[in-house]
A and B are shown apart, each in its own frame.
Chain A
Amino acid sequence: MKYLLIVPALLIATPALAQSTSPSDLIQRYSAEAGRAADAGRGKSFFLANHGSGKPDTPSCTTCHTKNPRSAGKARTGKTIDPLAPSANGARLTDLAKVEKWFRRNCDSVLGRSCTAGEKADVVAWLASQ
Chain B
Amino acid sequence: MLKNITLGQYFPGNSLIHRIDARFKLILTALFIAMVFCAKTPAGYGLIAAFLIFVVADSRIPPRLILKSLRSILIFIVFTAVLNVFFTKGETVLFSWRFLTVSREGIVFAVSMVLRIVFLIVGTSMLTYTTSPILLTDAIEALFSPLKKLRFPVHELAMMMSIALRFIPTLIEETDKIMSAQKSRGADFESGNLFRRVKSFIPLLIPLFVSAFRRADELATAMESRCYRGGDGRTRYRVMRSAARDWVALGAAAALTAGVVVLRIFGL
Co-complex (A, B): no
Q: Could you tell me which A residues sit within 8 Å of B by CB distance?
A: none
Q: Could you tell me which B residues sit within 8 Å of A by CB distance?
A: none
